[in-house]
Amino acid sequence: MTHSGEHPAHGGDLAYATRRFGTPTGGWQDLSTGISPWAYPVGEVPAQVWRQLPVDQSGLIRSAAAYYGADPAHILPVPGSQFALARLPALLESASVALPRPGYEEHARHWLAGGHTPIFYRGLAELREAAEAGRVCHAVVINPNNPTGERVAARELLALSQSLPGILLVDEAFADLWPSLSVAAAVSSNPRLYVLRSVGKFFGLAGVRLGFLLGSGSAVAKLHSGMDPWAVNTPALWVGERALADRHWQISQRQRISEAAQALSQLLANCVPESVECANSGLFVTLQGDRPYLQALFTKLGHGGIFSRWCYSAANTEPAWLRLGLPEDKGRRLTEVLCD
């Protein structure tokens, strides 16, 4: 896929970075996504995995049920959580929907395309207020939020769901570092609660395209019935089953990511002015506030061969933010560019 244009089409749009800054000596250090730079070691894939049609999902679903702590009957494998978040709104009757701003913009795009009326909220307190006042039917919570890193406790989400007449969709694409945040176990007893999980971020396997929609409500069956029977391919089933069951690797991955995020956060906090807030979200660190400063930092990093994710509202109605994923090199290159 190639894109031309003024703005990156998505995190990881290195074609945009090259158009904007030229090709850096030594290549790009891409910190524009929240994908772990340490991927699950796939190893050698048996030949029949490439040959066989993906008929049997039971092994993957078993691993996913144990990993997410959810009932296997309520787990639907999908080719990336994006697949489900893009289709779910069209399966629900048009209504008002509360969406986080800032938040992963793909949610807003698809709820709008599905004929719903978006109502944007900033932080849980605003969402709770809108729900309690009866101003919203459905709600989306990204937990932790991308890009702000706001985390909401599971019990708060469960209480929120009770105050909504419609569904609560909790996007847990970045939740693997905090298993206790997850509401996946609660979907079986609450048919208006849906959860999205991704194998792309924490496991560093975004290219495999594997994720899950968890839920006991009718939207899961509707999504399933509209899916191609081979939508999740055999290599994805094979690697997903192993990665989700590999507790040893998960423990060291959690440790590796927490240390890298802590170091990145410290490095950035030491060099940004007081007008900029620094939030550590595990798989990325987000700076928010002073727009000219952040814009200049994005440009400086770009010229130094480091691609970050930069966003601001043209009308200046929202705080600008700059998001950096975890560097693989313990921040060596970032330190060089920042100290330059």
In degrees, rounded to 5, the angle at the alpha carbon of residue 110 between the alpha carbons of residues 221 and 162 is 60
Check residue 253 for interaction with ligand PLP (CB under 6 A). no
Q: Which stretch binds ligand PLP (CB under 6 A): 19-27, 79-87, 182-190, 318-326?
A: 79-87
**C-alpha to C-alpha distance for 124 and 122, rounded to whole angstroms:** 7
Instruction: Judge contact between 105 and 10, C-beta under 8 A.
Output: no
Check residue 29 for interaction with ligand PLP (CB under 6 A). no
**C-alpha to C-alpha distance for 147 and 173, rounded to whole angstroms:** 12
Check residue 219 for interaction with ligand PLP (CB under 6 A). no
Rank residues 203 and 238 by Cβ distance to ligand PLP and give the closer one: 203
Rank residues 272 and 321 by Cβ distance to ligand PLP and give the closer one: 321
Q: In the window 104-123, what residues touch ligand PLP (CB under 6 A)?
A: 104
Question: Can you tell me which of 36, 63, 82, 182 binds ligand PLP, judged by CB under 6 A?
Answer: 82
Q: How far is the CB of 209 from ligand PLP (least distance, A)?
A: 7
The 3-state DSSP class for residue 86 equals helix
In degrees, rounded to 5, the angle at the alpha carbon of residue 168 between the alpha carbons of residues 167 and 173 is 135
The backbone torsions φ and ψ at residue 115, rounded to the nearest 5 degrees and listed phi first, read 85, 10
Token output for 162: 């009770």
Give yes or no for a cis peptide into 147 (omega within 30° of 0). Answer: yes
At residue 121, what is the residue type?
Answer: Y
Q: Which stretch binds ligand PLP (CB under 6 A): 38-46, 59-67, 76-84, 292-300?
A: 76-84
Question: Can you tell me which of 8, 166, 211, 325 binds ligand PLP, judged by CB under 6 A?
Answer: 211
Token output for 53: 């049609």
Check residue 173 for interaction with ligand PLP (CB under 6 A). yes
Q: How far is the CB of 213 from ligand PLP (least distance, A)?
A: 11
Question: Can you tell me which of 29, 32, 81, 253 binds ligand PLP, judged by CB under 6 A?
Answer: 81
The 3-state DSSP class for residue 70 equals coil
Question: Binding residues for ligand PLP, per CB under 6 A?
Answer: 80-82, 85, 104, 142, 146, 171, 173, 198, 200, 206, 211
